[in-house]
Structure 1
């Protein structure tokens, strides 16, 4: 770990420790148990992708059995929470295997990740509807959550997935919204979740062409207040959300965490750029972790060569379009977020009112997308929304 990383939780390796932190943060929404998750981490004595899969798959199987037992005992609350934990542990199990989408562990792990979450939704004490949204010649899978079944038009948050997340993982942000009276739509687009793993549709830079048909579908629902639709973009969606909002003006407010308007910003330039791809290729040959890091990202774009991946990142560019964002915008910058640092650039380019929110290690909200500080994040973001909408 370096000084740019959050304080370690358990592993010296920042990648493995960061993923452990993601699962620990899910305890806030009953999708992880701290003791259970730490036990899974301790079973991974020397972090590698196979040991990681074995330990988290075991944790998922244990939670699945707990859910089945609770249901038989007539305890739907315990069953629901166990299904949520099982779903998250399944997602975590194949995280470091995503370079090969045909790996049976990815295929089976993803299927059970979804199935476990769907089982949990059937036991929730508020409406939770699995949906299929028309998109080009296929459909995009997602969920609509509402605080109650009254059908009352409410402000609605559209939550985009990131580079490696799924619609099911987006549950992390749902309960905070429901508690404040918002509806929520979470969905997977090209390059994400089942759209990637099952349909092999890859990321596209023009995300407005994904969001617009989604909004067409969403705004036809009676429980949605069309004048109060909020777009959340966290992690890689810190590019996708502002890109779409630059064209889609039915958005009443935009939240980016962190802003990533130019995905090629971290690529080397000048003379170094000419040798960057060969160096990375050699690193991938010699280091399994570097190989997985880059290959998993290339897989979401349908690419296998590092030169093509670097060229593709240049297409994910929206700073010159940011003047088209006309809705109030909140940009979150958390200390030690490896993807952060571009908030001010986007804020200066947006034509609408913008607030830049800084979260810190001192507050307990540092790391990628505020790390373990998810309740702090929600408090700040929803207070801004309450004043904005």
Structure 2
């Protein structure tokens, strides 16, 4: 699979993270010049330099927000708060192996606070919500095109491995512009649910999605027959897993589908050597130490061997035939997490479409990279057709 061309960094991972932030310009949550200036301050792949560069960019955006507020410029203030939120998120990306790192905790706090400041200035409803879950609550945001309370189709957006409910804003404006509500939320192992509450990832994501839908369907602005689950990045596993047990969904979108995370762990002799090799990499390389450490932290683990064994639990192919709604699977050329789309589609018994996006379209890399308008233009017309044909679910529960 061809990798996307480098944009700025020779280091593939750093370049991919820069692309993530640049893609947020589509939803006014990044400025191309600001972001490239922050990248220019990272003169080598060092997590401390990365943090300092993006924290500085966030501080600059916060100053711009304050100046715009003082001048009575609500539009500029909102955009600056959105940019500050995204830059703060990016600042702690390479600090996630230590959830106690004060830079991570402060950066996360400011990421959330800056988004809340932007939400207060939005032209349509943006409500911070707490969703009941196993004796606690899960953080999220519920957005609507207007305050009429009219029942509408609703896009449900769980987080990925390293995203937050606030970062879920990336997919919200395209939904609002098409007349949908949007719910972004954090499950165990994600965002504040991990950093503040200590909840860790679980493979049975249906145990998370069902209480989320129980709560969502009490909202008068939500059409219960038109709820769409959209799983991007690691949620390309979480969403289809939950959809196999939760039958109040009108459609499912996966980008990319990751129905068997365990398939990425080698078997046989290579499997026996995987943990020792990974431990050696962790000892020898700060980058590999952070790579595995961040993922282990999300799972509540501290040993690479345990992490590799845990990944084998993240497979839903044996229950894929229980999914009861139509499915759209997106695979972008060069997506490092791609390759599982055909496997999932072949395991389904419902109508499913595999949509391929390409570098020629400008939509290569993880979750289509910089091609977010191309992605929305491919996915939303298909959702419109599916929802136009969707019957109201006969029951209100899951199985």
Question: TM-score, normalized by length of structure 2?
Answer: 0.96
- Equivalent of 2:382, from 372, 379, 384? 384
Q: 1:350, CA displacement in angstroms? A: 1.1
User: Are 1:75 and 2:69 matched, yes or no?
Assistant: no
State how far apart, in whole Å, the 2-side matches of 1:302 and 1:63 are.
34
Alignment equivalent of 1:337, drawn from 335, 338, 357:
335
Alignment of 1:1-389 (within 5 A): 4-389=2-387
| 2-structure distance, mates of 1:342, 1:81 | 36
Aligned mates of 2:306, 2:278 — CA distance in 1: 13
* Offset, 1:5: 2.2
CA contact (8 A) 2:193 2:199 kept: yes
Please list the CA deviations of residues 195-227 of structure 1 after superposition, one character each: whole Å capped at 9, or x if unmatched. 000011000000000000010000011000000
* Partner Cα distance (2:100, 2:3) in 1: 32
Whole-angstrom CA distance in 1 between matches of 2:332 and 2:318: 24
The structural deviation recorded for 1:339 is 0.5
The answer for unaligned runs of 5 or more in structure 1 is none
Find the aligned partners of 1:282 and 1:4 in 2 and give their Cα distance. 28
SS at match of 1:226: strand
For residue 363 of structure 2, give the secondary structure of its aligned residue in structure 1.
Answer: coil
Q: What is the distance in 2 between the residues matched to 1:53 and 1:252?
A: 41
Residue correspondences, number: 387
CA distance in 2, matches of 1:191, 1:32: 26
1:4 deviation in Å?
3.8
TM-score, structure 1 as length reference: 0.99
Secondary structure at the counterpart of residue 72 of structure 2: coil
- Residues in 1 aligned to 2:3 and 2:346: alpha-carbon distance in whole angstroms: 27
Specify the SS of the correspondent of 1:155: strand
SS in 1 for 2:103: helix
5+ residue gaps, structure 2, are 388-399
User: Alpha carbon RMSD of aligned pairs, Å?
Assistant: 0.6
Task: After TM superposition, give the deviation of residue 275 of structure 1 in Å.
Answer: 1.1
CA contact (8 A) 2:251 2:327 kept: yes
Query: Are the equivalent residues in 1 in contact too, given 2:125–2:144 (CA < 8 A)?
Result: yes
Shift of 1:46: 1.0
Q: 1:60, 1:85 within 8 Å by CA — same for their partners in 2?
A: yes
Structure 1 runs of 4+ aligned residues shifted over 2 Å read none
CA distance in 2, matches of 1:51, 1:117: 24
Partner of 1:265, secondary structure, is: helix
1:331 is paired with a residue of what secondary structure? strand
Whole-Å separation in 2 of the counterparts to 1:368 and 1:29: 18
For residues 191 and 5 of structure 1, what CA distance do their matches in structure 2 show?
28
Q: Does the 8 Å contact 2:157/2:182 carry over to 1?
A: yes
